[in-house]
Chains A and B, each alone.
Chain A
Amino acid sequence: MTLEAGVVAVQGDVEEHAAAIERAARSRGREVTVHEIRESGIVPDCDLLAMPGGESTTISRLLREEGIAPEIRDHVEAGKPLLATCAGLIVASSDARDDRVDELGLLDVSVERNAFGRQKDSFEAPLEVTGLVGENGDGDGDGDGDEDESPFPAVFIRAPAIDDVTGDVDVLATWEDRPVAVKQGPVVGTAFHPELTPDSRIHGLAFFENEAASVPEGGTLESEAESEAQTGAGVR
């Protein structure tokens, strides 16, 4: 079956997330159709969701104006996976320490915006992230969960850091001793931008290898030829 994926598209690097979701699905033999969410009424039909990077004040404001915010809360409450990156993480947190951001409270973390400085301090670096699974599993494309913990190429752009973690939040990665990737139930949040590099392991972890999230089964393809034909048809 074809999975319905949504990328919150009120502002930010939406196409990059859409492409990353498609890459992650394809390498795992799954079919996916990606929808851009700029208005209410689309989230309820989505099996998985991504909240992109951008400006958290702008994204937060438009999620409220467009009535999308409660739909995202319902999505997570139903146990469906959400990947929130950078500004998305700030919006998904329970405390962004900024009146201009309406936090959705989907992750029991507080965050500090621009924790690593301004744009001139933005950086890329290899990052150890726990729990990552190889893009192609053991190479047969069946995504059966073989670990690949080689460093992840992480891009931090005016990035936030998590400064307090409560509840049952798992910390997956730290930078300068501050958590920068976390998982809580169906939600994965990163301070960096996995959508900016071709490595789809974070998207894979969030959507296909998270036991705490419910994604419809099926869609595993038998052969590579079939895989190409079917994902080709599934992509927008």
Chain B
Amino acid sequence: MADTTDLEELRRGTDLVKRGFARMQKGGVIMDVVNPEQARIAEEAGAVAVMALEAVPADIRKRGGVARMADPADVEEIVDAVSIPVMGKARIGHTKEAQILEAVGVDMIDESEVLTPADDAYHIDKRDFTAPFVCGARNLGEALRRIDEGAAMIRTKGEAGTGDVNQAVHHQRSIKGAIRKIEGMTHEEREAYAREIEAPAELVHETAEMGRLPVVNFAAGGIATPADAALMMHHECDGIFVGSGIFGAENPPAMGEAIVEAVNNWDDPEALAEISKNLGKGMKGDANADLPEEEQMQDRGV
């Protein structure tokens, strides 16, 4: 056993360490929680991480007004309550909220359109942080711009707090469809496409060669049932965020466990049938089609 390990060469916050953290979440369910009690229920149900926030998106939507980062004291309580990773949401472009969340010790920061954007032109420069970031995207251009800014994980935006999976499907299909398209392109066609979607050419080439986003790609926004979660896995997502779908349901522990098991069994309809039985009422939700444009969150931060 050697004792000569060089401590001088220890490095934190590298892309490998940040993206590596995101990779460990794959095949898992990340659940929105607003207090330590919910965090414990989520952990017990098999969540790979919890997202600590002040109110779930469905309530943010109902309440209106400016939605901000949660009180750091509340986030800290949740951090102390569970052994799994804890994530927190900062407003788009709000570098200080993100720094505060990092100081509190959250394991990943969600620069999220669910909160009211703090900057209408720029996102946070995520490369400056030791903590990894996840960002929402509706299409390949948005996804690659966020990765260029330093995001270690991409999630579909979907339409948060609606309980309608329709927009998450739309965004995931858009990202995957664009990747299939660039896979068939020549070098110069990819260069032109990069300009068209306003993404760095280097990342377009890398994505085309890998046949997938260079970082982990989760689904989020409107996932409310085990079947919804399985549908997003069918669309080749690496894992699932569930916002209001668990604690907005009649029986959160049962719904949480069922969604975790559905992600593992997404390609087994008989197992999904068993998993989906007798879960009580899901969250009520609002159909995306009925949502006036000014109430949509997905158009924030492109």
A residues touching B (Cβ–Cβ < 8 Å)? 9-16, 38-39, 53-55, 57-58, 61-62, 65-66, 86-87, 98, 100, 113-114, 118-128, 130, 149, 151, 155, 157-158, 171-175, 193, 196-197
Contacts and interface: CB of A to CB of B under 8 A. Distances in A.
Contacts of B16: 124, 155, 196-197
Contact of A158 (B14, B43, B107, B265): B107
Given A57-B84, A62-B46, A122 B24 contact: no
A10 to B, nearest CB: 5
A167 B148 CA distance: 49
A129 to B, nearest CB: 8
Given A14-B26, A125-B9, A173-B1, A58 B17 contact: no
A100 B43 contact: yes
Contacts of B102: 120
Contacts of B11: 123-125
> Can you list the 6 inter-chain pairs with the closest CB atoms, starting with the nearest?
A128-B2, A119-B107, A11-B27, A55-B48, A125-B10, A13-B23
Nearest to B4: A128
A114 B79 CA distance: 13
Nearest to A130: B1
Nearest to B28: A11
Nearest to B43: A57
Contacts of A11: 26-28, 48, 264
Contacts of B84: 55, 57-58
B261 A65 contact: yes
15 contacts: A39-B265, A55-B25, A55-B84, A57-B83, A58-B28, A62-B261, A66-B264, A118-B105, A119-B107, A124-B10, A124-B16, A125-B10, A128-B3, A157-B17, A158-B21
Contacts of A16: 23
A74 to B, nearest CB: 21
A55 B264 CA distance: 14
Contacts, number: 140
A33 B301 CA distance: 44
Main secondary structure of the interface of B (DSSP, over half): loop
Given A13-B26, A66-B264, A125-B5, 15 more contacts: A11-B27, A12-B24, A15-B26, A57-B83, A58-B46, A86-B24, A100-B43, A114-B83, A123-B11, A123-B17, A125-B9, A125-B10, A127-B5, A171-B1, A172-B1
Contacts of B46: 57-58, 61-62
B66 interface: no
B24 A13 contact: yes
A220 to B, nearest CB: 31
A221 B20 CA distance: 34
A128 B2 CA distance: 6
B108 interface: yes
B20 A196 contact: yes
B260 interface: yes
Nearest to A10: B264
A14 B28 CA distance: 12
B105 A126 contact: no
B131 interface: yes
B74 to A, nearest CB: 17
A16 B16 CA distance: 13
A170 to B, nearest CB: 9
B27 A12 contact: yes
B130 interface: yes
Nearest to B29: A58
Interface string B78-105: 0100011100000000000000001001
